[in-house]
Structure 1
């Protein structure tokens, strides 16, 4: 009996153990269903390899010893489709789910909140939309990363009840309603990293945050936080990174932050801080990065900062700091970046900044520094940007400064520097911008400057340079600005300058230049050109006279104009001619005059005889209407304004826009112009608001009429009356870029598209950077980019978009955002404040049009989605990036197009400060030129679609 009992217990124990083991084994059927769903609803190359039953061997899948799937990591697989929401039903043991950097559709999969054992959830950069669920059931969650999505609605406050959380990241979610950090944020006692940047956080930082002593990383930048920084943050003894930049914080920076002895990175820039920089912060033993720029800080830079052995980045620009910079700065630590610009700092520049040999950025412009530039800077081979302009520096520029091998900008302008430009500049192979204006530099411009092949801008104006302009300067094929104004340069103007096809600004005025004006320079029209106040002689080439830039030659007593133009150009003498030539000119003048008079008489009589009585009776009315126009001309006009009015009939209409009607008018002199009739209104309905708009429009138009750039549409004149306003432009025979890309009449290959992109960028760079004050376009789009006969682009409708749109609105007193849906920068949409970075964003959209051949908004992108969203979902891999490119463009240009795609993505960054300037965009596009090695094989003009 005892044996039977023992046997029974043994069998029972074995049975229980068997069933217990079976209970712990994974349910293969359920797990199989998950992979079936993935293959059914999700697309991607890697996911197609999930076949068979060996789940635990699949790439991206991890299991425990009982073959339960505990981890799915498919980060960056470029997957698309709908992620199965039932994942926790099929994988109940799942602890880690990483889905980031894919392009799944729709909203957050709500059923994930049922994954009761989930410890890590990473959904970064999926661009999910919609509201978020209650996360309260995810009690074991340790890592939650939902950054770079487009969630909306209320912020999920339930997250602050997940007491096991160690990492929380909600970076770049701007769709939330404004929300505040709750007092129960301190429930997250185990939290090590809290990243809540750019996610609509406002209010004050709760003092209770000081109790979260496990924090190592606290990032709250890019929000709407206000009030003072609580001194309790000084209790966060483990904190290594504190980022509070781009908020509205105020008051003094608490000295208690000096207790954060583990702190490595402190950035509190772009706030409203006042008072002094706390000395305690400058003593922090591990601090590497200190950024406090764009505040209202005063006083001296604490001297103890020079004792730091760890500091590598110091950015304090745009404050009100005074006194001397600690002279030992950089001698105890390896500096990488120093920016002290736009303060009131004085004394000598510290000479040890580059002792560590890694200094990339030295920016101290707009201060009161004096003394000489330290010789040690010439040995700073790592420098990329060297800017010391607008100070009181004196003495010679160290020779090695000119040959810094990695420098892209050398800016020593507006000081009292002397000496000469040395030939070592030949080694400055990466130099793109050299600014030396407003000094006392003497000597000659060395021919070796032509060996700095990447130069884009050279400004040597207002110095004492002498000798000749080196002819080799024509080798600088990327140059778009050359300013040599107000020097003592002699000899003639080199004809090689005409080779600079990207040149936008050429100023050689106020020198001692002699000789004739090379006619080949007319290739540079209609750019900004100035040859005034020299000793030039001979006849002014007719192309310059026709181009309306005669004022650029004033102050040259020996310059002259042909006899037939003498009466219309009274400020210039008549060119001397020999008798025979003069006689021949007189004969031709008489013949031509007689022909014109005869033809004019015939046309006049024919028109007069054919007019019916009604037209005749209304003649006085029409004349009265015409002469009621206020006419403002910006170029020498070769046509009769009356001719324009007569030609504004229906058959000449070529288009309609939100601001009015566009006419194409062929003039009697053979020229063609475009006339935009802006709006109409009844005289009796004119009110103060409309008169204000009239005045505002006139002011804008007069500014635009003074613009001279080859990539800006030339505005000839402006008519205004109580009835309407007319803008008279040069006519662009190839229409606008929108039609060229989307109407299918022609095919634009990549070299032509790149040419268009670069030309537009150069035009915008001119508006943004070469004018003072800068002009903001406000409505960059492909319909506002016009194409001439050679498909060179010209930007139209710049600067007046806001006025025109207000005029077109029913209530002209309403604040109207200029711009077009699909091109509009997100910050402009909610702040109504236009900046140059808004134009950069819109230009990025145009780049994407050129790259993809698609419109900014198309049905295939999804509801309320645009081209930027569509591109962003595809560019995680090179294959995905190539997939967005226009399939009609040849394979040989794919690599060049990928380079431009990177530029477009940077231009359309959601954060304005991360977008490049238009000057930088020009440089990047030049570097991406598909024809830079003269290997392009394409026709001068695009082909008809039907000829392909």
Structure 2
């Protein structure tokens, strides 16, 4: 009944609207009436418009969401419903709002066409309907009465037909965005008469024909884009008269001819893209007169000749893309003057000559010189020994004629993400220094003449996703250290001379998708664990000397026969060869022999008859043996109970004579030691556990000691406090092994563990640089972290937490004492996941045991009804960020006050004095454009509401944008 009554009231309003529409003067309720009728025509699935009440006398009481009014006239002047998930059609109700100046319905699900009378509201200045599903053609009448309209955006819809010529009648238009629709026909000539127009975007449509005349009349034009259409012909002169132009994008059309000569007049132009057309001829020398250019993209055209030397005059240039043309000659030496250049792509040309030293300038982060032609450089990386390459992220020198060796100087590429040296004539071994490429995700050295073995150090490149070494002369075994490259999805080692077995370490690369080991000399059987690789798409083993049965299950049940062919000793259904049955060998005993011979053999002078035991006899003997061993074990245990001897000291005393295997059984005297590397050796450093001088610190879970193994390898050993920990060895080992599989360059690696019922140890890699807390709060004199070092710590810590969360691990205990710095200043987060060792994740046990540092604990720990999630780590990270930037502790106790760090920074931000919060030791030595956004991000992460905090993956993206901000677009005034 209530719903029926509401529907009837809407109908009454609709009828009232029809009558009121004929009235000479609008009533005071016109705004309410128009908005309620508009609301009745659309769907509001999230109830965003629930505050719009037809019983209100005015829409200007302040309660109507998305509605703003003029306080003097009490009339609606703005309706902003961006992203409200509204659906349905735009009805006539809005036409009742005669004082409306701005209408924005962007990013909804609105459908249908646009009413011809829509733009006829006398005062309407801004229309934004972008990001919907509006369709149909625009009537010529839409823009017949639009004298006040300044901004029009219909982008990202499904509108079709021609652009109405009447758009030229909107003389006040300053911005037009019709991009990402299906408009066809020619460019509307009337648009070019809009002398007030500052921004025009017609990109991503189906527009055809040539550029019309009259562009020069648009004296106020700042930005124009007609990219990704079907435009043809030459580009006429005229742009040179638009002296305020800052951005021109004509890319991905079919324009031809040369670059218009009057472009040289555009002294303010910072962005010029002609990519993906049919422009031809030489690039004129006057290009160097466009001094404001930051982006110059002439890629995928038909330009020829030499690259103009005048490019060196473009000292603001950040991105230069000349790829996919016919340029000849060498790279101009004058480009060394382009000191702000970040990205250089001259691939797929016919360049020749020497590779200039300036290519390795410190600021460049992306260099592509692939398919260069006849390069004459002995080694493309020799120059790295002479420069410091801190920011280079992409280096592609593939498809050239480079020769020589890859030297250890490759380690200078400390920020590299992609290194492609494929299809050259490089010789010599792969240097061990490739293991220093900690951030590299793609390494391609294929199609060269490299020899020697794959270095063991390759396992140090822990971020690798692609490792491509095919078509070389590599020998030796596939190193087991490859298991450390846990991010690998592509492993291609084909057409080399590799030997030995396929290591089981390959099966630990759980996200592998493509593997090609074909055309080598690999031998042995295939590890059965390969069947557990759930993401495999292809695994080529053909043309080797492998033997035995193919792994059963998973991808290998349907592997293509061509992927396992030419391995004569392989068997299984894929090779259409059955495997021979394996029968157990009988045990042969000779009770009369006194000769010391191996089991199952006869002495050479024996004349006695062999005794062959049947399977049933073996079982009977085994059962008897078990009974005897059980009786002896019970007796021994009774004796031990009576002795009441303490086992703790024996369990932790590792004398020089002790030896521990990879998987010793649990014993009260020795316990069980497991090293994930498979090579345990505690003998030389065991005394540290009883030596207070070797203690590094204590925390909620126990004390940490440093010790040195026999091979000189330092480790840190955490002696766990056994109270409140799991008592089951099985549960303990299961959780610790999970933590041992978590690998990341910014996480302290868990190398092993030791177990007895009364003592548990965790064995970690030793990080020599000490804790972040020490560097922030215990440094002296000028020995403090620079801004760049602090930013790297923040970013590295964020990446570590993002990796943990991706692995479904919550840290729970993020604080500056748990962030360690290695000898290179790289952060490593420790103590992660230890809460998994608690018998239950009780928040009060957690808060008392691991959130011991006041100030880092998320507020949800105090509330039983709020779920503990990864967002508690985000909160602790936010506090850590503020601590790093300000140099202050999360909570500081003054003589008569307590200062909470996040409250102090938030207050300073609100009062506009946030720079005063930055560590005074950094004053004058930090970029405000980085430091202030980082502090704001820290405050966002410390939101009291968990859902308002970003995910750590988002945090990493934000930090990378702060370090390398994308180019913004000028806003219209």
TM-score, L = length of structure 2: 0.51
Structure 1 pair 403–531 and aligned structure 2 pair: CA distance change class (3 A): farther
The 5 A counterparts of 1:439-454 are 439-454=448-463
Q: 1:348 aligns with which of 351, 354, 357?
A: 354
- Is 2:380 aligned against 1:364? no
Offset from partner CA, 1:132-163 (integer Å, 9 cap, x none): 23111112222211111212333222101222
Structure 1 pair 261–391 and aligned structure 2 pair: CA distance change class (3 A): same
The CA distance in 2 between the partners of 1:367 and 1:522, in whole Å, is 42
- Is 2:174 aligned against 1:172? no
What is residue 661 of structure 2 aligned with on the other side? none
Say whether the 8 Å CA contact 2:291–2:316 is kept in structure 1. Answer: yes
Q: 1:144 aligns with which of 152, 158, 180?
A: 152
Q: CA deviation at 1:339?
A: 1.3
What is residue 72 of structure 1 aligned with on the other side? 79
- Structure 2 gaps of 5+ residues are 1-23, 588-866, 872-951, 954-973
Q: 2:472 aligns with which of 439, 463, 467?
A: 463
Q: CA deviation at 1:93?
A: 2.0
The CA distance in 2 between the partners of 1:126 and 1:487, in whole Å, is 55
Q: CA deviation at 1:504?
A: 4.5
Q: 2:220 aligns with which of 214, 227, 230?
A: 214
Q: 2:230 aligns with which of 217, 224, 227?
A: 224
- Structure 1 gaps of 5+ residues are 1-23, 582-890, 896-926, 929-948
The 5 A counterparts of 1:190-339 are 190-339=196-345
- Is 2:161 aligned against 1:157? no
Residue 179 of structure 1 aligns to a residue whose secondary structure is: strand
Q: CA deviation at 1:78?
A: 3.4
Structure 1 pair 182–539 and aligned structure 2 pair: CA distance change class (3 A): closer
Say whether the 8 Å CA contact 1:39–1:48 is kept in structure 2. Answer: no
Q: CA deviation at 1:475?
A: 4.5
Structure 1 pair 461–111 and aligned structure 2 pair: CA distance change class (3 A): same
Q: 2:444 aligns with which of 435, 451, 460?
A: 435
Say whether the 8 Å CA contact 1:328–1:352 is kept in structure 2. Answer: no
Residue 87 of structure 1 aligns to a residue whose secondary structure is: helix
Q: CA deviation at 1:429?
A: 4.4
Say whether the 8 Å CA contact 1:450–1:476 is kept in structure 2. Answer: yes
Q: CA deviation at 1:308?
A: 1.4
The 5 A counterparts of 1:219-618 are 219-353=225-359, 355=361, 357=363, 359-368=364-373, 369-371=375-377, 372-374=379-381, 379-397=388-406, 399=408, 401=410, 404=413, 406-518=415-527, 520-521=529-530, 528-531=538-541, 536=545, 539=548, 560=569
Say whether the 8 Å CA contact 1:132–1:156 is kept in structure 2. Answer: yes
Offset from partner CA, 1:72-95 (integer Å, 9 cap, x none): 333333334444423232x21222
Q: CA deviation at 1:531?
A: 4.4
Say whether the 8 Å CA contact 2:362–2:392 is kept in structure 1. Answer: no
Structure 1 pair 36–28 and aligned structure 2 pair: CA distance change class (3 A): same
Q: CA deviation at 1:251?
A: 1.4
Structure 1 pair 326–192 and aligned structure 2 pair: CA distance change class (3 A): same
Residue 231 of structure 2 aligns to a residue whose secondary structure is: strand
Q: CA deviation at 1:182?
A: 4.3
The CA distance in 2 between the partners of 1:240 and 1:346, in whole Å, is 34
Say whether the 8 Å CA contact 1:352–1:376 is kept in structure 2. Answer: no
Q: CA deviation at 1:266?
A: 0.6
Q: CA deviation at 1:310?
A: 0.7
Say whether the 8 Å CA contact 2:167–2:190 is kept in structure 1. Answer: no
Residue 49 of structure 1 aligns to a residue whose secondary structure is: coil
Structure 1 pair 172–403 and aligned structure 2 pair: CA distance change class (3 A): same
Q: CA deviation at 1:242?
A: 0.9
Offset from partner CA, 1:727-756 (integer Å, 9 cap, x none): xxxxxxxxxxxxxxxxxxxxxxxxxxxxxx
Structure 1 pair 76–424 and aligned structure 2 pair: CA distance change class (3 A): farther
Q: CA deviation at 1:540?
A: 6.0
Structure 1 pair 554–113 and aligned structure 2 pair: CA distance change class (3 A): closer
The CA distance in 2 between the partners of 1:291 and 1:346, in whole Å, is 21
The CA distance in 2 between the partners of 1:248 and 1:152, in whole Å, is 21
Say whether the 8 Å CA contact 1:409–1:431 is kept in structure 2. Answer: yes
Which structure ranks higher in relative contact order (CA pairs < 8 Å, sequence separation ≥ 6)?
1
Say whether the 8 Å CA contact 2:381–2:409 is kept in structure 1. Answer: no
Residue 440 of structure 2 aligns to a residue whose secondary structure is: coil
Q: CA deviation at 1:330?
A: 4.9
The 5 A counterparts of 1:839-854 are none
The CA distance in 1 between the partners of 2:381 and 2:94, in whole Å, is 65
Say whether the 8 Å CA contact 1:123–1:146 is kept in structure 2. Answer: yes
What is residue 31 of structure 1 aligned with on the other side? 31
Structure 1 pair 143–375 and aligned structure 2 pair: CA distance change class (3 A): farther
The CA distance in 1 between the partners of 2:309 and 2:76, in whole Å, is 58
Structure 1 pair 893–160 and aligned structure 2 pair: CA distance change class (3 A): farther
The 5 A counterparts of 1:881-920 are none
The CA distance in 1 between the partners of 2:494 and 2:319, in whole Å, is 37
Say whether the 8 Å CA contact 2:95–2:121 is kept in structure 1. Answer: yes
The CA distance in 2 between the partners of 1:392 and 1:263, in whole Å, is 37
Residue 348 of structure 2 aligns to a residue whose secondary structure is: coil
Residue 357 of structure 2 aligns to a residue whose secondary structure is: coil
The 5 A counterparts of 1:789-828 are none
Structure 1 pair 573–88 and aligned structure 2 pair: CA distance change class (3 A): closer
> RMSD across aligned C-alpha pairs, in angstroms?
4.0
The CA distance in 2 between the partners of 1:294 and 1:332, in whole Å, is 23
Say whether the 8 Å CA contact 1:373–1:398 is kept in structure 2. Answer: no
Residue 238 of structure 1 aligns to a residue whose secondary structure is: coil
The CA distance in 1 between the partners of 2:316 and 2:415, in whole Å, is 24
The CA distance in 2 between the partners of 1:561 and 1:219, in whole Å, is 61
Q: CA deviation at 1:392?
A: 1.4
The CA distance in 2 between the partners of 1:155 and 1:274, in whole Å, is 30
Structure exhibiting the larger radius of gyration computed from Cα positions? 2
The 5 A counterparts of 1:177-192 are 178-192=184-198
Say whether the 8 Å CA contact 2:514–2:538 is kept in structure 1. Answer: yes
Q: Which moved more, 1:160-169 or 1:459-468?
A: 459-468
Q: CA deviation at 1:427?
A: 4.8
Structure with the bigger percentage of helix: 1
